Amino acid sequence: MRLISIDEYNPKLMQLARPIYDKHRRVLLGTGRTIHPTYLEKLGALDIRYLFVEDAISFGITMEEMVDTPTWMEAIDALKNTYRAVEENQKLPIREIQKQVVTLVDEVAKRKAIFLVPTSSLTENLREYAHAVNVALISLQLAKKLGISQKQLRELAMGCLLHDIGKAIKEETQHHARSGFEYLRKIREVSLLSAHVAYQHHEAIDGSGKPRGLEEKEIHELAQICALGNVYDHAISNNGLPPHEAMEYIMTKSDTWFTAELIGLFVQQVPSYIPGTKVRLNNGRKAIVTKILRNLQRPYIRYLDSEEEVSLGDCHTLLISEVLTS
Ligand SMILES: [Fe+2]
Ligand SMILES: [Fe+2]
């Protein structure tokens, strides 16, 4: 299986490896299907930009580091219900959110690495919710190295899921981070730490952030993690950057938006090249990334011409020089 941009799709060579949903979250095209060109146009009109496909060069690649579709969609549904409750001034479905918090903490705990599914693989109306889920996933992946308690991990996940909830408040006249905080701090089941994660998710350590222009230590460590997760998912999902470019982009924010220490943690915890990525190596040969085992930044690759598999972790002179998109 691999993730491709929709314009790389070739019906003669590829089948869908994960379903595509319409805006009502009904399955539009199921796993195993070939997409007819007229359908492909329809997906383009829905602005769906990525697909998971199965093809000859990606055989055996499983992408277990991505949360499976039902789990992701269930979390997205819970967020959708949450936003609707806020928009309609109803009670927050807190049980539903708490259930997702537990699920997401478990999902991240059981994996060495987490890859995000770009929200642009969904119809537009679901992306805001999928964004919140992605921010929670990547933040948990960073936080699990900090040795914090299970309770704090859950508070972080809750804060990440609700970090943009201020956007759902109708009479919103202030920055959404502040209005989200004002809303969340009145909810008994949401801890003050979770509310602060939402409050501080647009702050930057150099004081250039919003809404308060906090600096360095004034920003809670877990809120900084959420802020980084937020920027990373925007890079992947909204700006369509491949993971290695999103990583470079994050690195340019060292000492301005994020501490060098946090970026170091990010590099340690998030891979630049995900399985299924077609690459050219510095020996000129084309290959596909197959799996990530010990070293997140040095994956296994399989040559396209010989099918020989090599661990870049064991071949220190071999480097990825280019990502191929066709
Ligand atoms: Fe935000
Ligand atoms: Fe956000």
User: Is pLDDT above 90 for 174?
Assistant: no
**Which ligand is closest in space to the CA of residue 79?**
2
Q: Which residues contact 86 (CB under 8 A, 6 or more apart)?
A: 92, 165, 168, 169, 183
Gap between the Cα atoms of 43 and 39, Å rounded: 6
Indicate whether 170 pLDDT > 80: no
Predicted pLDDT of residue 280: 98
pLDDT tens for residues 224-283?
A: 999 999 999 999 999 999 999 999 999 999 999 999 999 999 999 999 999 999 999 999
How many A from CA of 68 to the centre of ligand 1?
Answer: 25
Cα torsion through 163, 241, 36, 15, rounded to 10: -90
Rounded mean pLDDT of the chain?
Answer: 96
Ligand nearest to the CA of 127: 2
- Whole-number Å distance, alpha carbon 18 to ligand 1 midpoint, is 29
Model confidence band, residue 285 (pLDDT cutoffs 50, 70, 90): very high
> Rounded to the nearest whole angstrom, what is the distance from the C-alpha of residue 246 to the centroid of ligand 1?
18
List CB-based neighbours of ion ligand 1 within 5 Å.
Answer: 164
pLDDT in tens, 61-93: 999 999 999 999 999 999 999 999 999 999 999
Cα–ligand 1 centroid distance for 175 (angstroms)? 9
Residue 294 pLDDT level (bands cut at 50, 70, 90): confident
- Interval between CA 84 and ligand 1 midpoint (Å): 18
Looking at the chain, the whole-number percentage of residues with pLDDT higher than 70 is 100
Edge-to-edge strand list for the sheet holding 309-311: 309-311, 300-303, 286-291, 278-281, 320-324
pLDDT bracket for residue 325 (50, 70, 90)? confident
User: Separation of 44 CA from ligand 2 center, angstroms?
Assistant: 25
The pLDDT, as a whole number, for residue 289 is 98
Tokens in use for 225?
């993690």
Planar angle of CA 291, 315, 310, nearest 5 degrees: 40
Note the pTM of the prediction, 2 decimals: 0.97
Q: In this predicted model, what pLDDT tens digit does every residue of 223-234 receive, in sequence order? A: 999 999 999 999
Q: What is the pLDDT of residue 8?
A: 94
Distances (CA, A) of 227 to 52, 82, 149, 153, 230: 28, 21, 20, 15, 5
Q: Is the pLDDT of residue 178 over 70?
A: yes
Centre of ligand 1 from the C-alpha of residue 24, in Å: 25
Rounded mean pLDDT, 121-143: 97
70 Cα–ligand 1 center, Å = 26
The full DSSP string for 161-219 is HTTTGGGG-TT--S-HHHHHHHHHTT-TTS-HHHHHHHHTTT--TBTT-SSS--BGGGS
Would you state the structure tokens that stand for residue 105, as one six-digit string?
A: 């903490």
pLDDT tens, position by position, 304-314:
999 999 999 99
**pLDDT at res. 307:** 94
- What one-character-per-residue DSSP string does 233-285 give? HIIIIIS---HHHHHHHHHTTBTTTB-HHHHHHHHHHS-SS-TT-EEEETTS-
- Whether 19 shows a pLDDT value over 70: the answer reads yes
Instruction: Give the distance (Å) from ligand 2 centre to CA of residue 17.
Output: 28
pLDDT the model gives residue 172: 65
Residue percentage of the chain with pLDDT more than 90:
96
CA distance 128 to 82: 12
pLDDT at 91: 96
